[in-house]
Chains A and B, each alone.
Chain A
């Protein structure tokens, strides 16, 4: 597609349930980032994928969070046993060149954990 696509746009779940968030980056962009944005806060780095290299998972807040990127394209962010503090907007971004290139963001997935 023309832009970064994320789904679902909104997700309401009960505490303890697992959720999967999907990101489809711009075709040809080898760099893919996941960020978390809590209300009124800045963007918090979660994970970075670059081509076939091992991802940088240093930003994942706990072992309940994991992410995959299949075939160098689509990525899924999985949150297991969700907690109320996981409620936030999860933003995906892709770039031709990670680190200095322009980031193209998706619209985000708003997660609400009840």
Chain B
């Protein structure tokens, strides 16, 4: 069964600290993996996309990694800011032929001053 699991469920850190969010998936055949950021009361917005051949991709203070062998991805946030407080959702797409996205339940991050 295609599944995406995220950990931790929630996380509280102090401003300026780093953190890493985890995503494990069992989706097969794999096409790509995206991390979305969802601010409270807003729709999710894509941060990064990882394809099968990519190991690391950065978007500012956000760095995503992908290990296609172990089917794991992480999102590392460097020097966190108050504006990073949000839910982070891991979304996996299967290879062409299906239109369904597999969503994780998200990690809720709270950054404190």
The interface of chain A, by Cβ under 8 A from chain B, is 4, 31, 33, 41-43, 45, 48, 50, 56, 91, 93, 98-100, 102-103, 105-108, 110
Contacts and interface: CB of A to CB of B under 8 A. Distances in A.
Contacts of B56: none
Interface residues of B, number: 26
27 contacts: A4-B43, A31-B99, A42-B89, A42-B103, A43-B103, A45-B100, A45-B101, A48-B99, A50-B99, A93-B43, A98-B99, A99-B31, A99-B93, A99-B94, A99-B99, A99-B100, A99-B101, A100-B31, A100-B95, A103-B34, A103-B36, A103-B91, A105-B45, A106-B43, A107-B41, A107-B43, A108-B42
A42 B101 contact: no
Choose among A45, A91, A93, A102 the residue with the greatest number of B CB atoms under 10 Å from its CB: A102
